Amino acid sequence: MTGNSAAKAGSSQQVIIIGGGLIGIATLYELSRRGIGAVLIEAENELAKETSFANGGMMTPSQSEPWNGPGVERHLVSSLFFPGAAMKLHWQQIPSLTSWGLQFLRNSWADKYPKAAQSNFALAAYSAAKTADILQQYQPDIDQSNNGSLKIFDSKNNFKKSLLTTDVIAKLGISYVELTAEEVIKKEPQLHEAKNWIKGGIYFADDSVADARKFALFLSELAIKAGGEIKTSVRVGDFISENGKVVGVQTDHGDFQGAVILCAGSPSAALAVNVGLKLPIKPVKGYTITLDAAHLKSQMPKMPVIDEAKHIAIVPIGQKIRIAGMAEFAGFDHSLPKNRLQQLKQLCARIYPDLSSQFDWETAVNWSGLRPMSADGVPFVGAAPLDGLWLNCGHGHLGWTMALGSACLLADMMTGDKPDIDPLAYRYGR
């Protein structure tokens, strides 16, 4: 990999990709594989160092519902007064969220939300199939497992509500099984100590898990082999426009000429403003704690367990357990407050009391990441309303799940090939 290679000014490439997270790397791979000359520009000194660094690793088309479901406004308002709220709005963020926030709330209405869930599912399922093909072909060592995922509920009411939303995407082909509390424990026996409070569950057989960062790095190697170029430690400051057309980017290592694809995660919105675009994308902060679990051996859970109401998932990734959760509207803040980490630890102990007591919490790796969340919960994939500029950003809580599918969809649109799925739902200005 060209990893830390210094960028040369004046490089002339056909396509410039801004951002070396899962989405930018998948885009570079897909274009390079098709013989299109492309250079990826990443501000950090290595790839996948931002939101794609230590995410939940769940490839879950089953979780296609946007997070602004009906009634989200009640949660957000009450979260202002409750520091431990799983989905938390911080007071000081309210001024920066006005326009995006109103769109976020409008999209939670019953006539919009199911459509967004279906659009996400179409892309996520397509992407999961594309990813499975690559993994089958190359068998990379990325801690993959194909045991499905399990949603658990501590209230009959939430269980019922979740079944209704699952039904919305089930119409498009998702397979799921409704489980009683006893069946939940049979499916994941390590949950036996939570049997007192689990009221039911939903099992999604087609979901899978892998280390998304390892996948991103593996894909970057394939992209380079196919002719793709990567420049790290290079920050894009602005676009270069001529006669209303984007013809390149200005960076702190000189200018680059070519058509541009914006894959910069949460900062995409600020970059897009430079060419007059209003991309409704805001950062939604989440946390992970990664624990060594090699000692668990036969006690290792088989599949991710998701407690939707608490916004938490406990995910076995190879020999590790990763606790992923929370959704905070906290701007670009990356801090790791002790009370949040403690809360995740307690939620883990609620689900797996015995396993939790066996973990070495002193050596746990704590991380926070900023999900690039669009106001309707659906990513932007396609042409910007400006010649020479393309979008692939705003994948929110599903960026690993949707990475390869989004890259294929965009590459089809750029080359004029007929896309496998309808691109309309992901267009700018929808």
Number of residues that bind ligand FAD (CB under 6 A): 41
The whole-angstrom distance between residue 381's C-alpha and the CA centroid of its chain comes to: 14
DSSP assignment string, 231-287: E-S--EEEEEEETTEEEEEEEBTEEEEEEEEE--STTHHHHHHTTT----EEEEEEE
Counting beta carbons within 10 angstroms of the beta carbon of residue 134, is it exposed (0 to 12), middle (13 to 18) or buried (19 or more)?
A: middle
**For 316, phi and psi rounded to 5 degrees?**
-80, 120
Choices 48-56, 131-139, 339-347, 414-422; region in contact with ligand FAD by CB under 6 A: 48-56
C-beta of 203 vs 256, nearer to ligand FAD: 256
Quote the CA–CA distance of 319 and 314 in Å, as a whole number: 13
Place of tokens 């704690």: 289
**Nearer of residues 43 and 181 to ligand FAD, judged by Cβ:** 43
Given 66, 228, 267, 388, the residue binding ligand FAD (CB under 6 A) = 267
Contact call for residue 307 and ligand FAD (CB under 6 A) = no
398 binds ligand FAD (CB under 6 A): yes
Which are the contacts of 340, defined by CB distance < 8 A and separation ≥ 6? 287, 326
Q: Does 22 bind ligand FAD (CB under 6 A)?
A: yes
- Residue list 314-343, contact with ligand FAD (CB under 6 A): 324
Minimum Å distance from CB 194 to ligand FAD?
Answer: 21
Among 43, 230, 277, 305, binds ligand FAD (CB under 6 A): 43
**Is 395 an interacting residue with respect to ligand FAD (CB under 6 A)?**
yes
Q: What kind and span of H or E run contains 134? A: helix 113-138
Contacting ligand FAD (CB under 6 A), which of 31, 174, 236, 281? 236
Residue type at 374 in one-letter notation: S
Beta carbon of residue 5, minimum distance to ligand FAD (angstroms, whole number):
15
Q: Which range of residues in 4-12, 47-55, 165-173, 198-206 is near ligand FAD by CB under 6 A?
A: 47-55
CB of 272 to ligand FAD, least distance (A): 11
The structure tokens listed for 292 are 């060594």
Choosing from 11, 51, 68, 162, the residue that interacts with ligand FAD (CB under 6 A) is 51
Is 19 one of the binding residues for ligand FAD (CB under 6 A)?
yes
Q: Is 215 in the site for ligand FAD (CB under 6 A)?
A: no
Q: Is 29 in the site for ligand FAD (CB under 6 A)?
A: no
Compare residues 42 and 307 and give the one whose CB is closer to ligand FAD.
Answer: 42
Which 271-290 positions form the footprint of ligand FAD (CB under 6 A)? 271, 286-288
Tokens of 62: 């089953």
Choose, by CB under 6 A, the member of 115, 199, 235, 302 that binds ligand FAD: 235
Which token pair is 397? Answer: 């809580």
- Assess contact for 28 and 40: CB atoms under 8 A: yes
Q: Which residues contact 246 (CB under 8 A, 6 or more apart)?
A: 239, 240, 259, 260, 275, 384, 386, 387, 388, 389
Residue 120, interface with ligand FAD (CB under 6 A)? no
Burial 374-402 (b: 16+ CB within 10 A, else e): bbbbbbbbbbbebebbbbbbbbbbbbbbb
Burial grade of 418 (CB within 10 A; 0-12, 13-18, 19 or more): exposed
Locate 329 and state its tokens.
Answer: 């509207």
**Who's near 337: CB < 8 A, 6+ residues apart?**
none
- Contact region for ligand FAD (CB under 6 A) — 94-102, 146-154, 182-190, 395-403? 395-403
Check binding of 144 to ligand FAD (CB under 6 A): no
Residue 310 touches ligand FAD, criterion: CB under 6 A: no
Q: Of 49, 192, 302, 427, which lies in the binding site for ligand FAD, with binding defined by CB under 6 A?
A: 49
Q: Which of 17, 18, 202, 317 binds ligand FAD (CB under 6 A)?
A: 18
Maximum Cα interatomic distance, the chain, rounded to a whole number of Å: 66
Candidates 21, 66, 248, 388: give the one binding ligand FAD (CB under 6 A): 21
Which residues of this protein are in contact with ligand FAD, per CB under 6 A? 18-24, 41-44, 49-52, 55-58, 235-236, 263-265, 267, 271, 286-288, 324, 369, 371-372, 393, 395-401
